[in-house]
Amino acid sequence: MTLKFTASAALCALIGLSACNDPSQLGLDNTAKTEQGALFGGILGAGIGALVSDDKAKGALIGGALGALGGGVVGKQLQRQEEELRAQLASDEITIVNTGDRLIVSLPHDITFDSDSSTVRSALRFDLNTVASNLQRYPNSTVQIIGHTDSDGEAAYNAKLSQQRASSVSQVLSGGGVALERLQISGRGEEQPLASNLTEEGKAKNRRVEIVVIPQNS
């Protein structure tokens, strides 16, 4: 039987897996995280190999093998980076989620900013400088800084405030030595809640800034 593996099929599979890769799933152990990184890399590599090779089957196999190897390296790097951050952060209210292909460091609003403010509290600067030092030790990644709010107030105001808060966190990381070209800033306002905005507990979860660390496979 002839092996047929197109780039589009690989991309569809990767998108499907990403949809299942919910940052709220905290149960992955270290081995599973590494394997998940290898799986992502393998699927992407197979798609690229099939796309660039005249022999689609051979290209897919070679690309898949190389991609899995690279993905496994990424998974191990993320595991080490996560372990170091957990050991060094002072606040136990900061959460870290390792999805297998990225780290999501979530800063709750209540410890990061005063109400309606985009100025980072001085008490949190130690932890942000710790994150900055960690990012410098692992320079081969891009860093998305994403601000979120609850649904109180006007949506346009919330979008602007979330952008300003993300920018403030970015400035602290940059001041701590992280290269500006690695930092990507965005404000999502109230568009991506983690919980219901109908309760105070839900609103508190939704007010946050996320630092998303995405390693590069190179």
Same domain, 145 and 203: yes
Residue 196, domain extent: 102-215
Q: Domain tally for the chain?
A: 2
Same domain, 114 and 200: yes
Q: How confident is the model at residue 43 (pLDDT cuts 50, 70, 90)?
A: low
Q: How high is the pLDDT of residue 73? A: 79
Q: How high is the pLDDT of residue 201? A: 97
| CATH number, domain with residue 198 | 3.30.1330.60
Tokens, residue 116: 């309606």
The answer to whether residue 94 is domain-embedded is no
Range 6-15 average pLDDT: 48
Same domain, 157 and 76: no
Same domain, 75 and 118: no
> Smallest Cα–Cα separation from 135: which of 175, 100, 95?
175
Q: How high is the pLDDT of residue 131? A: 98
Q: How high is the pLDDT of residue 118? A: 97
**DSSP for 26-67?**
----HHHHHHHHHHHHHHHHHHHHHHH-SSHHHHHHHHHHHH
Q: What is the mean pLDDT of the chain?
A: 81
E strand or H helix at 152: none
Q: At residue 3, does pLDDT exceed 90?
A: no
Same domain, 69 and 128: no
Same domain, 123 and 169: yes
Same domain, 108 and 181: yes
Q: For the chain, percent helix, then strand, then coil, each to nearest 5?
A: 55, 15, 30
Same domain, 183 and 109: yes
Q: At residue 137, does pLDDT exceed 70?
A: yes
| pLDDT, tens digit, 9 for 90 and up, residues 147-194 | 999 999 999 999 999 999 999 999 999 999 999 999 999 999 999 999
Same domain, 199 and 118: yes
Same domain, 120 and 163: yes
Q: At residue 32, does pLDDT exceed 90?
A: no
| pLDDT, tens digit, 9 for 90 and up, residues 63-107 | 444 444 445 678 999 999 999 999 999 999 999 999 999 999 999
The answer to whether residue 89 is domain-embedded is no
Range 51-59 average pLDDT: 56
The answer to whether residue 130 is domain-embedded is yes
Q: How high is the pLDDT of residue 37? A: 54
Q: Which one of 84, 115, 139 terminates a domain?
A: 84
The answer to whether residue 108 is domain-embedded is yes
Q: Percent of the chain at pLDDT above 70?
A: 66
Same domain, 173 and 127: yes
